[in-house]
Structure 1
Amino acid sequence: MNAAIPANIRKEIERRLSKVAEDEGIRYLLAIESGSRAWGFPSPDSDYDVRFLFVRPREHYLALSPPRDVVERPIVDEVDLNGWDIRKALGLMLKHNAALSEWIESPIRYLDDDPVISALVELGDRFFDPRGFALHYASLGRAQVARWGEVERGVSVKKLFYALRPALAIRCLRLDSRSRPPMQLQELMQRCDLSHLIIEQIEAMIELKAKTREAGLAKAMPEIVHLIHAELERAGEVPARQPNESFSEEAERIFLALVNES
């Protein structure tokens, strides 16, 4: 999937990542593309949503006033850089926030993964809470639906997709709660047991979005609108996983090992 990013843009993103690491004194664990380019439905003017995980030198975690656990830069030339300290990332993982799960599954990498990422994948597979993920996606989807306005007059293609993907993630979890839902829309569609009509309509919207600016409007197809509303209301049907103390204990071990080697 690396070919999805033009070579000149990739080179510039890698340069900026190097500059951020130098300025902040951080070591990258992961640097990926998030947003519509990684989700499988980019627009011609989509930003490059670069997301990363990092670890700081050990002494920073012992300071009375530790630095921020987020590093971010202003959007310049459609490149948006934003990253989390590994402590923040693990804390969100323990709360079953699906964002980290998506980052580690991104099909577009800007840097080689640190070996710890495979440990995070394995940890997430064993301990993620399906209902926690479903409620996370329901919140995201409802927030987008609330911004639609009058559906009959057309809906922003971006806002439509930003509600559809969470809805499909919930459907995926309802059908099989044993594994984390994939990040990419096309993979979600394969695992969601959708009708041929819905698949054709979504594929047509993907083609439309590839030619439409982010703010462009599209006719909201009733079948897709119904699917979105129905799935967002069924998040509570996804089974919950019982809390396990081993989750936080193993996350703590991963964190301490990283910090002690920094």
Structure 2
Amino acid sequence: MNTRQETAGILSAHPVSPEVRTRVLAELDDIEKRHDVRILFACESGSRGWGFASPDSDYDVRFLYVHKLDWYLRVEAERDVIEVPIDNALDISGWELRKSLQLLRRSNPTLFEWLDSPIVYRENAAVAHHLRALAPGFFSERKSRWHYLSMAKRNFRGYLQGETVRHKKYLYVLRPLLAAQWVDAGRGMPPMRFAELADVMVADPDLRDEINALLAVKMAAGEAEHGLRYPLIHAFIERELSVEQPPGEFRQAAGDDVTLDDFLKETILSARGA
């Protein structure tokens, strides 16, 4: 499962070996037993989900889970996040379902990305389908655009000011910048896959070639690999960040909070009600 593919010319790869997948599934089973929870959905986030992992990239496993019914009927709220100590390969953490739905209601871009991940380790098909159907109604163009554009500016200022740079940081600026432009173009929720973003939003063939050259290096070298600036990419980023103008209007999210309440109750009762 380490095969590189092309999406309309933009390099992309989502490598997860069978051995790693087996280990991830075992870790998820162990989390369920130790915390007495039911995992509803588990996916890969980060560079492997975005499609430009290095050979030494971590596996960023993210999941959603529910407790038994009595956990939700206590006066004092309890911790709603599960985090597994990071080792040299796996970074695993998850959000409780009620927390996840609160974040969905607030149009959290990270949750939208998880639901669009090309690497899914486990899922309750009915729950995942329902979540994906609910998500567009709570998508906020304003919040998404601010999230991605702020990330692009912060990473550009913080990591790409020298004559030599870490290759991965260009992608950590390009991806959110293109996601913000995707939103500005009225295309809705940006896709998680970088190749899908770049294929639509980057038309200049020379710039596409340089992006592919960067991707080829990133996917063959280590996470800490440094090198000279990529001139076309650098100029594109500087130009786009300097001239960006907010669109005149944003469409308002149209989701109904009652649907989230109903979904929470139905899911808890069906998954852990007894």
Amino acid at match of 2:26: R
Normalising by structure 2, what TM-score? 0.87
Which stretch shows the higher mean deviation, 15-24 or 229-238? 229-238
Tell me which of 172, 186, 198 is aligned to 2:182.
Answer: 172
Distance 1:207 1:107 in 2: 20
Could you tell me how far 1:231 is from its partner in structure 2?
4.2
Tell me which of 181, 206, 227 is aligned to 1:197.
Answer: 206
Amino acid at match of 1:236: P
Deviations along 1:167-214, one digit per CA (max 9) or x if unpaired, are 111121222x24211101101112214211111111111100012211
Tell me which of 118, 121, 136 is aligned to 1:110.
Answer: 121
**Alignment match, 2:191:** 182
Normalising by structure 1, what TM-score? 0.91
- Structure 1 pair 90–200 and aligned structure 2 pair: CA distance change class (3 A): same
| Contact 2:137–2:253 (8 Å) recurs in 1 | no
Kindly tell me the number of residue pairs found equivalent between the two proteins: 259
**Alignment match, 1:143:** 154
Deviations along 1:79-103, one digit per CA (max 9) or x if unpaired, are 0101111111111111111111100
- Is it true that 1:76 corresponds to 2:87 in the alignment? yes
Amino acid at match of 2:127: V
Distance 1:156 1:218 in 2: 6
Distance 2:124 2:253 in 1: 29
Q: Matched residues, percent identical? A: 34
Which stretch shows the higher mean deviation, 132-141 or 223-232? 223-232
Amino acid at match of 1:94: R
Distance 2:248 2:126 in 1: 32
Structure 1, unaligned runs of 5 or more: none
Could you tell me how far 1:40 is from its partner in structure 2?
0.7
Distance 2:238 2:27 in 1: 40
Distance 2:230 2:97 in 1: 41
Report the aligned-residue RMSD: 2.0
- Is it true that 1:225 corresponds to 2:229 in the alignment? no
**Alignment match, 1:248:** 257
Tell me which of 127, 131, 140 is aligned to 1:120.
Answer: 131
Structure 2, unaligned runs of 5 or more: 3-13
Distance 2:71 2:240 in 1: 44
Tell me which of 121, 140, 143 is aligned to 1:129.
Answer: 140
- Structure 1 pair 210–89 and aligned structure 2 pair: CA distance change class (3 A): same
| Contact 2:139–2:253 (8 Å) recurs in 1 | no
User: Which 4+ stretches in 1 moved above 6 angstroms?
Assistant: none
